[in-house]
Structure 1
Amino acid sequence: MRMKNYLLGAFKPSCNVSIAFSDGKTRKQVPLKKGNGQTVLVPLFQSQENITGKVTIDPLQGKKVDHNGVKIELLGQIVRELDVPGEIYERKTYPFEFSTVEMPYETYNGVNVRLRYVLKVTISRGYAGSIVEYQDFVVRNYSPLPSINNGIKMEVGIEDCLHIEFEYNKSKRRESTGSGANTHVETETLAKYELMDGAPVRGESIPVRLFLSPYELTPTHRNINNKFSVKYYLNLVLVDEEDRRYFKQQEITIYRLQETT
């Protein structure tokens, strides 16, 4: 039993590792839902920004950290070596910088796919097992107003009986993963609105305004690295007295405008 406890203790982390952004106290924080369902506040970045900060390694009291090197990674893109092999006896801080990082795609948390941006610090220790620390952050990219933004017109009706025309003056979320025969599609209903109930009056107009801010939306994603797409649709449903349903669907493109303060 003593030997087992000794072995377990030998593989416990002998230090605390933290990652801090240089402008962490002033940079905007946004909520991010993690894989375990918990929501945390993380820094918000845009593509082409510099990502700078410090990594701090703080050995536990009476402990030292023997290592084969320390590095930080912006996962999937860049690696920075922070230290050569050696020993750490007391708190040590390493500054880091990733300059004008190309991050063309927004952070996305879907049903079957997640697009994440993560800083990863690794203290390599050979037989003792590496010590790893992660720090998520969110990326949002903004677009100018499109030069062409035609109105949307949708029509649904019952032949020789009823005809409804729906107009939306600004040009369901559907997530697909894989490609070809391996494509998997997941459809999520984001909101439902009842436009009218009862017999319609000829020529009647019903104003409709959809507020998007309550929903966790991202810009439309189209075939990101041949891995997944995210598309948005407006569905118009007409239900008659016999509960028969008539459908019309229109894809819309979602883009993000620069936030105003």
Structure 2
Amino acid sequence: MSFFMRPPLEVEIKFSNEESRKKVDLRPKHGASQHKLAPLFAHDETVSGSVILRPRDGRRVEHNGVKIKFVGTIEQMNRDKPVDNDDFISWAHELSGPEEIRHPETLNFEFKNVEKQFESYNGIKVQLRYYVQVTVYTRSNEVTQERDIFVYHYDKEPQSQNVVTMDIGIESCLHIEFEYAKNHFSLTDTIVGRIYFLMVRLKLKHMELSLVRKETSGIGTNATNENEVIVRYEIMDGAPVRGEQIPIRMHLGGFDLVPTMKDINKKFSVRTFMSLVLVDESGRRYFKQSELMLYRPEPEL
């Protein structure tokens, strides 16, 4: 943009206690190359801060008012189509009426008791965003600035848990039992289980265990899926024998995982699966998946 096309003032948005807040690294979106850091908020926190208006080059700037908006939106990026936005929150109010400014001016804002009902999500084709947008109405044009925040939803461990058993079987050739202790895990939990070989008449070469995130956007016949392998381990190299057991212990805390999200605002779902894959000496693959129900634990005090 040339010098003469620059807006007459700069707009900066700052959040309360921003320096002490944890930051979340957002993926570049819509072809952007740079990452952005968003301050972290709990779902029930008030969103407040200040807006700083700075006239450029010491000039006098007249404006017709300043408005601020808090937005929660779901963005779906579809191939060969514009980004589809669905705003589920949109709160706005006026920060300032018409005035003339010559020096930097600070305007405070507060969005109190805004229900941020969903956790933020930054996926492959779907983003659930919360952001503050400021618009200054100058005589010549509108000057707009926005900043994202990131929202976490915390949950307690479910009171009832079930042992999960997953069978892989081929009649008269293979029978494997994979068992782990419960079906709900926090994002910092440890999966403890075992793989037990009940029948082995195939010449197996190796076995893999992976965590796969499945992002589903759209509904019905228009739904699309994006699968992302979060981590993959080779847990066996060589042929097992009947009666052999392989212990499993997988720490989830070091992986880029998100809570299970189902039918969020009837727009998208995010689910995580544990996938067990066996490969025989001919290269044939045998696999089974089991869904992990994930939740974000309350932070330790």
By the TM > 0.5 criterion, same fold? yes
The answer to whether the aligner puts 1:175 opposite 2:204 as a matched pair is no
Q: How does 1:20-169 map to 2 (within 5 A)?
A: 20-35=14-29, 36-75=32-71, 76-126=89-139, 128-169=140-181
- Residue in structure 1 matching 2:285, options 245, 249, 252: 245
Preserved contact between residue 58 and residue 103 of structure 2 (Cα < 8 Å): no
How far has the Cα of 1:64 moved from its partner? 2.0
* CA displacement at 1:149 relative to structure 2: 2.0
Q: Which SS does the other structure have where 1:181 is aligned?
A: helix
> Which amino acid is 1:135 matched to?
R
Amino acid at match of 1:60: R
Structure 1 position 37, deviation (Å):
4.2
State the secondary structure of the residue aligned to 2:221.
Answer: helix
Measure the CA separation in 2 of the matches of 1:200 and 1:61: 75
Supply the distance in 2 between the matched residues of 1:33 and 1:90 (Cα, whole angstroms): 35
Distance 2:41 2:64 in 1: 32
For residues 4-23 of structure 1, what are the structure 2 equivalents within 5 Å? 9=4, 11-23=5-17
Contact 1:157 1:238 in 2 (8 A): no
Q: CA offsets per residue over residues 202-224 of structure 1, 9 Å max, x none?
A: 22221112222332221111111
SS at match of 1:69: strand
State the match for 2:267 in structure 1: 227
What is the identity, as a one-letter code, of the residue corresponding to 1:102? E
Count of aligned pairs: 253
Report which stretch shifted further, 131-140 or 68-77. Answer: 68-77
Structure with a larger share of its residues in strand: 2
In structure 1, what is the Cα distance between the partners aligned to 2:299 and 2:44? Answer: 18
For the 8 Å contact 1:106–1:218, the answer to whether it is kept is no
- Please tell me whether the aligned partners of residues 47 and 100 of structure 1 are also in contact (alpha carbons under 8 angstroms): no
Can you give the 5+ residue segments of structure 1 that lack an aligned partner in the other structure? none
Name the CA distance, whole Å, in 2 between partners of 1:184 and 1:39: 26
TM-score for both structures, normalised by structure 2: 0.79
Structural RMSD (CA):
1.8
Q: Percent identity?
A: 44
Aligned residue type for 2:252? L
CA distance in 2, matches of 1:136, 1:84: 25
Looking at structure 2, the residues matched to 102 and 91 of structure 1 have their Cα atoms a distance apart, in angstroms, of 32
The TM-score with structure 1 as length reference comes to 0.90
Name the aligned partner's letter for residue 30 of structure 1. Answer: V
Which moves more between the two structures, 112-121 or 16-25? 16-25
The one-letter code matched in structure 2 to 1:185 is: N
